[in-house]
Structure 1
């Protein structure tokens, strides 16, 4: 049945897994502590054990949603960030916009994220916003040429961070480049990946080191 269903390709489809995860994030609000940190984004965040690896920084909440795009993350920002009233939020999004139903440009993604951070700052002016770059992908597995759909490529993923810096020049936004950390000697390290799109424990360890270093140096 599902395989034969037709979708409006101009409209992002909310899948069952996304809706279930959104409900989990809303239900989690019952137990939030003050002075917390929120990680908000797509599957790279959802599968990241942030509650454990960043536990020394204070209460940490994972509000990642696998499969989500920047426009839907924008629409969910009230439940996914603002109601948690965190002192800091880390945002990572972008790759699904290039490979899902809707094919957004880096500028479109940056516009969504710009509005998102403005909403967060307006409601939580003391909240420090950390904007992470999307991570790269193994193009022969998940690039647009191999998938025959979407716009995903490492060149375009890099452009997202460039658009962030151009369009979101706010002093309350701290940019963290995690993209470059998964390369060694100019080559993407495939040993950090599970399937060419999602990273494994070693990949997350690299991200953790970059994030902690960026926080310390800020």
Structure 2
């Protein structure tokens, strides 16, 4: 009789429901292997050996929007900035390479631009947030007081169909940073939009994805107040 009761209970138990998008967020680090990034890390190490950077620099890292910011040092005079962007990367790649692009420098502050390629590769806004949280956790595990900034995912004409997901990811990251000490959401996305809410064509180079000098000038104005001097 006891066995019969147990079988009956099992048959009437509610089925497990599929996880929601938020519940399914992953912190598993599985960055795409890219030999170019190995070369980038070797190049960073060579540059460090030739010209040792200050240990209290403001480090910029992330994808090509940072890598291609050629005027970074000139844009922030008086601030020891270091460009450690590596093109094509996603947020989780910066977690994977956190030692090479950030922690080795014992920075006073780290700013990351990533999420653009993540959305393009099919990752969800919730996963972008989760990966950024993992990035913060990774840095804070060795530098508990380091200040961290997230540069908002930029809109671009070539990825206009992704704009709703980009904005959803930005919203999730912004809301989370508002609950955290020493973590900033830096809105470099809004200045790139026109009055109708579409990306301004005049702020992009020929590929309609990457920024031109005028766009970086806008970014400079937005980012400057957040930098620790």
Judge conservation of contact 1:26–1:80 (CA < 8 Å) in 2: no
Kindly indicate whether residue 78 of structure 2 is the aligned counterpart of residue 56 of structure 1.
yes
Kindly indicate whether residue 83 of structure 2 is the aligned counterpart of residue 66 of structure 1.
no
Cα offsets for 1:58-90 (capped at 9, x unmatched): x21101010011221111112111111111111
Q: SS of 1:56's equivalent?
A: coil
Q: 1:180 Cα deviation (Å)?
A: 0.2
Q: Which residue of 2 aligns with 1:7?
A: none
Give the 5 Å matches for 1:71-90: 71-90=92-111
Q: Return the match for 1:191 from 191, 199, 202.
A: 202
**Aligned Cα root-mean-square deviation (Å):** 1.9
Structure 2: 5+ residue stretches without partners: 1-29
Kindly indicate whether residue 192 of structure 2 is the aligned counterpart of residue 182 of structure 1.
yes
Aligned partners of 1:164, 1:178: CA distance in 2, in Å? 13
Tell me which moved more, 45-54 or 62-71: 45-54
Q: Which residue of 2 aligns with 1:208?
A: 220
Q: Which residue of 2 aligns with 1:5?
A: none
Structure 1: 5+ residue stretches without partners: 1-10, 145-152
Aligned partners of 1:81, 1:214: CA distance in 2, in Å? 18
Judge conservation of contact 1:94–1:134 (CA < 8 Å) in 2: yes
- Name which one, 1 or 2, has greater alpha-carbon Rg: 2
Q: Which residue of 1 aligns with 2:58?
A: 37
Q: 1:142 Cα deviation (Å)?
A: 3.1
TM-score, normalization by structure 1: 0.81
Kindly indicate whether residue 47 of structure 2 is the aligned counterpart of residue 28 of structure 1.
yes
Cα offsets for 1:152-194 (capped at 9, x unmatched): x111111112111334431110111111011132342110001
Q: Which residue of 2 aligns with 1:142?
A: 159
Aligned partners of 2:222, 2:174: CA distance in 1, in Å? 18
Q: Which residue of 2 aligns with 1:91?
A: 112
4+ residue runs over 6 A deviation = none
TM-score, normalization by structure 2: 0.77
Judge conservation of contact 2:56–2:105 (CA < 8 Å) in 1: no
Q: Which residue of 2 aligns with 1:156?
A: 165
Aligned partners of 2:130, 2:98: CA distance in 1, in Å? 14
Q: SS of 1:52's equivalent?
A: helix
